[in-house]
Amino acid sequence: METVSPGARSFELPYPPSVNHYWRRVGHATLISREGRRFRKAVCSALAARLGRDPPLAGRLAVHVTVCPPDRRRRDLDNVQKALLDALEHGGVYRDDAQIDLLVVERGPVTPGGKSLVRVEVITQARRAAE
C-alpha cells in the first residue's frame, strides 16, 4: 500500500510552452528554444523565492499538475509536461524527473496569461504492523 507524505510542495507557475516550441534545431544540435529558456528562468525564479534553501525532494514522487491555458485554443495536455517537469528539476524541487512514479495532468479553466498549479509529494511505503 502506498501513502503520500505530509510534506507536499505546491506551486503556482507560468503556463509552459508546448514541447513543439520548447526545442530548436541548430545544425546537428537540438537546443532549448528562447521561449523554453525564458520559461525555465521564470520557473526557477519563482521556485527560488518559494523554496529558499530547502533541499530537493528525495525518493519516489507523485506529481499532480493542473494547467490553466491562456485562451480557448485547442491544446494537447501531453505537450506541456516536458518543459514543466524539466523546469521543476532545474529549479531544485527534485533531483531528477525520473523520480516521478505517478503523474496526473489535467486541464483547468482558461486563465488570462495562463498558469500551472503543481503539487509534488513523496510516495512512501506503508509498513506492515504484523510480521
25 part of a folded domain: yes
Q: What are phi and psi of 86, to 5 degrees?
A: -65, -40
11 part of a folded domain: yes
Number of structural domains in the chain: 1
109 part of a folded domain: yes
| Region 109-129 average pLDDT | 81
Q: How far apart, in whole angstroms, are the C-alpha atoms of residue 24 and residue 63?
A: 27
130 part of a folded domain: no
Q: Is 26 helix (H, G, I), strand (E, B) or coil?
A: strand
Q: Is 1 helix (H, G, I), strand (E, B) or coil?
A: coil
| Region 103-119 average pLDDT | 96
pTM score, whole prediction: 0.83
Taking alpha carbons only, the member of 42, 54, 20 closest to residue 114 is 42
Taking alpha carbons only, the member of 50, 12, 65, 15 closest to residue 35 is 15
Q: Are strands 115-125 and 100-107 parallel, antiparallel or unpaired?
A: unpaired
CATH number at residue 30: 3.30.1330.70
Query: Which tens digit of pLDDT belongs to each residue from 73-104?
Result: 998 888 889 999 999 999 999 999 999 999 99
86 part of a folded domain: yes
Residue 100 lies in domain: 2-125
User: Residue 39: pLDDT above 50?
Assistant: yes
131 part of a folded domain: no
Q: How far apart, in whole angstroms, are the C-alpha atoms of residue 60 and residue 125?
A: 10
